[in-house]
Amino acid sequence: MKYSIQLNAKGKLQHLLTIEGLSRSHLLEILDRANEFLSFGKKIELKNKPILKGKSIFNIFFENSTRTSTTFEIAAKRLSADVLKLNMQNSSVSKGESLLDTIDNLIAMQADMFVIRHPSSGAAHLIANHVNLAAPEIKILNAGDGSHSHPTQALLDMYTIRYFKKNFRNLRVAIIGDIAHSRVARSDIWALSALGVPDIRLIAPETLLPPEVEKMGVTLFSDLEEGVQGADVVIVLRLQKERISSPVLPSAHEYSKFYCLTEERLKNCKAGVIVLHPGPMNRGVEISSGVADSINSVILQQVTFGIAVRMAVMDILNEESEKYG
């Protein structure tokens, strides 16, 4: 799959479809831009800027979402955009209309940007290719496609890590959970690698690891205590309910026994470790309440930073649209 589709002739973001293939400078530009939408006093607060006033943002979610959908909507409204939230489970697609015919109808509604979540990997790229021909002025922002990519989640994770750890040099980052089916894990690995993190660790049972994942420059661990030893950052993935009692995982209890991040297991990490989670959490399955609510947890801060990061991406896409058409 070619990823240059998300860059314009000037090498700037035309769409945001995936972290894979983006340079360190692309990622840092987004992280730095996110700073402009936050104020750092006693409390971290979001700013409003009328950058997208008069623009129409369509949130097109073919898959259920609360946190991602809501934060994208808040981000667009804080930029003064007009937001249309579409429930695609009740759309014409469910009646047999093709995906691209649906997109053509939405194009005719004079959108400026599509924020798209779809259960099929590659859907965002398919739509971006189509839009580039049918309506090149429209920008595509991937809010998650199948098990492939979730770029803004990775970006908000990177922002959170940089905020608390200051830079990415010499960090040991551990990712725990269902790596095989996680678009968050893939996107985080691509982002961490591009930003120069030297030690990326994946902790999971063998059945929840994708084949040849070592080629991504990571180290694999089946033992959680060993894997988090000395970690500066731990990213805990949600255990997807559809994996439970499937051939890859016998039960949630069995998974929790070996892979739940507990307070005792957290002691193996470096002092000052931060714990991230993309949400929603399954307390007592992949993470204990003691860890989720501890001083090491930065899960709620991730949500706030996520709004600023999504504002930054929308701003950059709009800016490049204004510059280059």
Identical fold for domains 4-150+303-324 and 151-302, yes or no, is: yes
For 24-34, write each residue's pLDDT tens digit: 999 999 999 99
Q: Domain spans of the chain?
A: 4-150+303-324, 151-302
Predicted pLDDT at 2: 44
Predicted pLDDT at 1: 39
Predicted pLDDT at 276: 98
Architecture of domain 4-150+303-324: 3-Layer(aba) Sandwich (3.40)
Predicted pLDDT at 87: 73
Predicted pLDDT at 243: 59
Q: Where does the chain show beta strands of DSSP type E?
A: 38-40, 44-46, 56-61, 82-87, 113-118, 139-145, 172-176, 199-203, 219-221, 233-236, 274-276
**Interatomic CA distance for residues 35 and 37, integer angstroms:** 5
Distances (CA, A) of 37 to 29, 49, 50, 160: 13, 8, 11, 14
What's the token pair of residue 136?
Answer: 């090149």
Q: Reply yes or no on domain 151-302 having CATH 3.40.50.1370.
A: yes
Predicted pLDDT at 245: 61
**Interatomic CA distance for residues 56 and 119, integer angstroms:** 24
- Which segments of the chain have a pLDDT < 50? 1-3, 324
Beta bridge partners of 104: none
Instruction: Specify the pTM.
Output: 0.94
